[in-house]
A and B are shown apart, each in its own frame.
Chain A
Amino acid sequence: MARYIIRRLLQAIPTLAGVSLISFVLVYNSPGDPILIRTFDPNITQETREILRRQLGLDQHWALQYTSWLTGITLRSGDVVEEFTRQDINCNYVAGLNATFCDSGGGVLRGNLGTSIATNQPVWERMVERMPATFELSVSALLVSLLLGVPLGVLSAVRQASLFDGSVRVLAVVGNAVPSFWLGLMLIFYFGVALGWLPTGGRRTVSLTNEFDLVDRISHLILPTIILAFGGIAGISRFMRTETLEVIRTDYIRMAKAKGVAARRVWFVHALRNALIPLMTILGPTIFGVLTGAVIVETIFSWPGMGRMTFSAAVQRDYPTVLGAVMFFSLLTILGNLLSDVLYGVVDPRVRL
């Protein structure tokens, strides 16, 4: 088992490297210029723009920028030691190559995701600031997806082809089809504005002291959780319905029924436990769905998390922040998949390696 986990972790390295290269190329070659977006202002001179561009290394070929992002080492032609040396950047001129090498001590390989163009903060710091908010929302959405999706799915299987089954099916289709930004605004309108029951956005009621208040926090969590969990509920309930129906046709269930075990017990003990096992496999994708869904839900609900940060960083062409977030989400997805595979082995001896 340990060898299996280690092997999977090693396999994750080339995957992450591929993700980083592809997303880097996509992000850096997408139209739009972070400098022009910031300085489309007649009062800012072209010289200023060039200085900013050069300081950020945006004047270089993307391959050199990628190397610099990975290793923290920048290569420039000519002797520009004086121009680029800073407190934290060492530059050396190599006469033979007529090039200057600058080492910022950073680079992704050394665990440094770089500095945000928009806010000048370290990208990792920006992400850490927002992680608790995203964690809070994703975990609550995941829990709600499971707690509602599983029983709905099993009940649909029990009452196969009933009105209930049909309703859940409609709900699942709607849940997958309705765009979350629309549904989010509708819920904000009805429950926030028209009825006034729930806050319309944010993670807490802002006040001058911003003290912690559990009830207030939970009331802010309800609407975004519902929206974020909606897709998960839909997916999980359909999945559980199929799995339960499959399990119910197996011999041991027929055996249990034949023995005269109570129907309720057959469904919720014998069948459910076995039907739950394959759920592990879609847990990874569900986690991924919740994290990517957070980008939209956090924006609609003014939720100060990583999803919203990623969205606004993309709009502002804040390359390092976008890449940092993409790398982080990729890592989480890889780990989520690994976790679900390992857990599968734990609960189902048939696939143990």
Chain B
Amino acid sequence: MKNRKLSLLATLLVAALVLAACPQPTPVVETVRETVIVTQVVTETEEVVVTPTPAPPVQGGVWVEGSSADATILNPILASDSASFDVLGWFFPSLLGQDPFSGAIVPTEMAHSWDVSEDGLIWTFHLQDGVMWSDGEQVTADDFKFTYDAIASDLVETPRKANLDNIESIEVLDPLTIQVTYGEVKCDALNNLGLGWLPSHLYAEDYSDVMDSPLNEEPAVSAGPFIFNEWIRDDNSTVLRNDTYWKGAPNMDGWIYKIVPDPGARLAQLQTGELDLIGVQPEQLTTVQLDANLNLHKYKDDGYSYIGLNQANPANPQAGQDEDGNLVEQDPHPILSDLAVRQAIAHALDYDAIISKVYLGQGYQIASNVLPAVGWAHDPSLQPYAFDTDMASQILDDAGWTDSDGDGVRECNGCATAEAGATLTIRLQTNAGNTTREDLGALVQDQLNGIGFDIQFEAIEFGTLVGELLGQTFDMVIIGWTGLGTDPNDDSFWHSKFDTPGSGFNFVSYQNARIDELLEQAVSVPGCATDDRAPFYHEIQKIIHDDIPYVFVTGSVGNVGYSKKFNGTNPGPWSFYHNVETWSLAE
């Protein structure tokens, strides 16, 4: 009897919600209130008999995501900020999918399968048949080719030009088959093929309108779960259900991207139900956890925080390679080029205290440069540096850094890299306004000064800091990487060819011929099987761990707070919305 009542309730709720789903200006919150009233009515009628049938998913409802920043442009090859991709990601088909839990590239989007030639240079992708743009045109290989040719065009200015590196040709064999030919094997090259496809039938053939087409602000057609509806800048963007979505139309009516710049206001709106999803700051976690209407999705992110140690003399920044690709011997940093000093720093930091006090528990210690999120390449056997001030002091004593004048700061008395008598004085910088990094800087300064360093800590404006970083004029810097993605290739941080003052990201001037070699081999394994690539990355992690160009402070943890309004949410670390078309309103 109880079940029968429930299922009757479900049926009536469906009816109520279908009614509520008709276009009307009622805010979402009120729709929910209506259902509450219906529930009361139903509990009074008890004599009705209905056959229990599996209830179809409840239709309707709207999901509202809160964001600090608004999109800037809704064109997948011109956008470079995450807010733009949050919105435009609904519309444009892409060649490759990503497993929401492992991050691996999977054939869940336009390519349902692919073949690779024996030399690993020619990739043939077979496309899904019957995928339609919402205006009735079919999505074909021509859309893919048009998109990548547009990136190559001189008429298009885009930061995506690097996606074409190493691609020799893109050919359309037939409307459902694409052949991409590479100049050399690069195992992370597939990542460059993931951009959204433009609807080629709506653009000029010569790419002349790609930069200023009205479609960049109002993308008229969609091949994804939602269709563009409206974009009110700095306020909200709305998208509506695409009834012709090839994976099945979503049950919900639409999705809203609402701009709420202040983090406190975002939390408040999540609690009142004005928002359904926000990124949660560490200090807001308890509030979300205690709220019965909210879920918390916590995951290891693809980023980490570190202290970068400049290996070269900041007074004399040099490129890591000459024009012929030969290593250029660097003018060493007077203090930080001493491995003993780097080891002492690594042992002197109380990582547990840092993670619990500065990161409020939202982090985990890492040993080296490949994160556990990239499971196949990560080496779990590598141990992070242990907090041990006695050992750190001993290392400095043994290396000839001692405090001979008793002022609490060590000097070079027979050290390997600095002049005799030079004090252990090092600048430490980070970007002002990031309170976590400022707190970390103060703590690091405190702990290092405790074993005889003289750390001069300053927080400077981000733009200025980036200038010092890329200019390689810093000593030590607290900063982090985010969005490292699913491939472990991070050669731009370590390879000597990226040690280019003013522009390269190997700004710590790390130089190790073996690392250069390993980084190159790891991305050019024929076949690119993860089992074959893993040993290279294990060795890279070991060397980076031992050489300490970075002191790895913590791996990043992401926290998303979201409402329990919909059933079927199943967030993964790489995607929150991967199964959005199956969500249905909770009863």
Contact = CB atoms under 8 A, between A and B. Distances in A.
Nearest to B271: A193
A32 B505 contact: no
B492 to A, nearest CB: 4
Contact of A48 (B62, B161, B240, B493): B161
B157 A208 contact: no
A129 B254 CA distance: 25
Given A44-B162, A185-B265, A308-B234, A208 B492 contact: no
Contacts of B26: 207
A46 B319 CA distance: 14
A185 B492 contact: no
Interface stretch (A14-22, A232-240, A294-302): A294-302
A351 interface: no
B235 interface: yes
A120 B158 CA distance: 13
Interface string B199-231: 000000000000000000000000000000110
A199 B492 CA distance: 47
Contacts of A32: 461-464
Interface string B233-260: 1111010100000000000011010111
A36 interface: yes
Contact of A196 (B64, B272, B492): B272
A130 B234 contact: yes
Contacts of A210: 25, 230, 232, 236, 238
Task: Report which residue of B64, B73, B466, B467 has the largest number of chain A beta carbons within 10 angstroms of its beta carbon.
Answer: B466
Contacts of A130: 233-234
User: On chain B, which size bracket covers the interface?
Assistant: 35 or more
Contacts of B233: 119, 126, 129-130, 304
Interface string B16-55: 0000000111111000000000000000000000000000
Nearest to A212: B25
B466 A119 contact: no
Contacts, number: 150
Contact of B262 (A205, A207, A300): A300
A222 B26 CA distance: 21
A201 B466 contact: no
Contacts of A44: 80, 159, 162
B463 A43 contact: no
Contact of A118 (B72, B265, B490): B72
Contact of B467 (A33, A42, A48, A196): A33
Contacts of B261: 299, 302, 308, 312
User: On chain A, which size bracket covers the interface?
Assistant: 35 or more
Contacts of B161: 45, 47-48
Nearest to A208: B254
A32 B73 CA distance: 23
Interface in A184-203: 185, 188-189, 192-193, 196, 199-203
B268 interface: yes
Interface in B441-495: 460-464, 466-467, 470, 490, 492-493
Given A119-B73, A304-B232, A39 B159 contact: yes
A317 B463 contact: yes
Contacts of B258: 202, 206, 302
Q: A interface, by DSSP: helix, strand, loop or mixed?
A: loop
B503 interface: yes
B269 A206 contact: no
Interface stretch (A49-57, A73-81, A163-171): A49-57
Contact of A120 (B72, B470, B498, B500): B72
A211 B25 contact: yes
Q: B interface, by DSSP: helix, strand, loop or mixed?
A: mixed
Contacts of B162: 43-45, 48
Interface in B269-295: 269, 271-272, 274
Task: Report which residue of A36, A120, A208 has the largest number of chain B beta carbons within 10 angstroms of its beta carbon.
Answer: A208
Contact of A49 (B62, B460, B503): B503
B24 A209 contact: yes
Contacts of B240: 208
B72 A301 contact: no
B580 interface: no
Given A32-B462, A36-B470, A193-B271, A209 B159 contact: no
A96 interface: no
B100 interface: no
B69 interface: yes
Interface string B49-85: 0000000000000101000010011000000110000
B260 A202 contact: yes
A339 B265 CA distance: 37
A309 interface: yes
B502 interface: yes
A203 B274 CA distance: 13
A302 B278 CA distance: 15
Given A42-B505, A206-B236, A213 B274 contact: no
22 contacts: A31-B461, A31-B467, A32-B461, A36-B463, A37-B462, A42-B492, A43-B492, A46-B500, A52-B159, A55-B157, A119-B233, A129-B233, A192-B268, A193-B272, A200-B269, A201-B269, A202-B260, A203-B235, A208-B23, A208-B256, A210-B230, A299-B261
Top 7 closest pairs, chain A to chain B, by CB: A32-B463, A46-B503, A211-B25, A304-B235, A42-B492, A31-B464, A205-B27
Interface of A: 31-33, 36-49, 51-52, 55, 118-120, 126, 129-130, 185, 188-189, 192-193, 196, 199-203, 205-211, 213, 216, 299-302, 304, 308-309, 312, 317
Given A196-B272, A207-B27, A312-B261, 5 more contacts: A36-B463, A42-B492, A120-B72, A201-B262, A209-B24
